[in-house]
Structure 1
């Protein structure tokens, strides 16, 4: 077990790698790196389409929409705010359809967030997948590795080593290439629907510029 400059490693007592965590994991696997980059680009496009749709519905600019959504803080509160915008602008089947889009976007947002914000890990025992380590779990692993390094008596050292091994064995949240493709496909499906809705609701000359009056 050793700590690297850009991540953490867990090795067994024979020195064999059990878990490797850090940016080098994704950099060394171009097929996974490509999928992660595509998901980032697809999500950015979905957010642009969403903001443009809201701007069209509100007759304002994307800058003002983004500012209002940022003030809503968390994704959950931003979603509630978004549904209020929709409820004021639409009725009937259009309202139901757009609320469904927002629900789908919320669901895939949770999956996308893990891809974009967790640390990446590799387990030689499961070479077809890469694993996502949440920040809290990463800190837990780092704490366990420090305990191994600082243990002064054999009994404590053995217990700390077993705790690290258990952590590595229990890491299970991961992705295959196909699973990453699935996340990207869902983002794109919702993004295209948002784009179509935005184009339908654009009204030339109706937008309020930033700083303009009511």
Structure 2
């Protein structure tokens, strides 16, 4: 494994750190110095108890603006389109925890979740870009990133409630339009028993904005650091 990482470190890096939030009109230069419309990748550490991780693209360790610990969300970073390999290691370590190849389209934004636990790390890529969005509404999707949980549902109170139900681990709903509000209450529901597992109050969804809400943590854990809960990001 160490030899594989050492060999990988010699490969060229494709991922360029974005100074600000990613714009889908951003361009990169390829090996022939031609301008290429970039894709964008946001990074989310949803692996309970993982500690800080290092991120790898094309098998080369990339510099990150902050420690990539559990619950950390890093804004969109410009990326070459095409088939790309992503992976993670322990921070300042040659130990590869997991890697996977994904296909990126030019001008499209994605969220890459690092999920599960050390020893069984998995990577989940979701496409974020929307077309024909109603700018008078907000858009929301729900993802299940709790590896040992049953199918989960997200219930919204304080506004309209779209179909955000029965989502298995590593899966997500499509984006759904909702009425903008600054006082939503989110409830995480066990789809099998209908038991409320977690709540999040006074959540604001603004018109014209796109959000991902995900279940994070370990199902059944009572540890405040790893117990099941809800997190959200603006895409």
TM band (smaller chain)? under 0.3
Give the structure-2-normalised TM-score: 0.22
1 or 2, which has the higher helix percentage? Answer: 1
Give the structure-1-normalised TM-score: 0.24
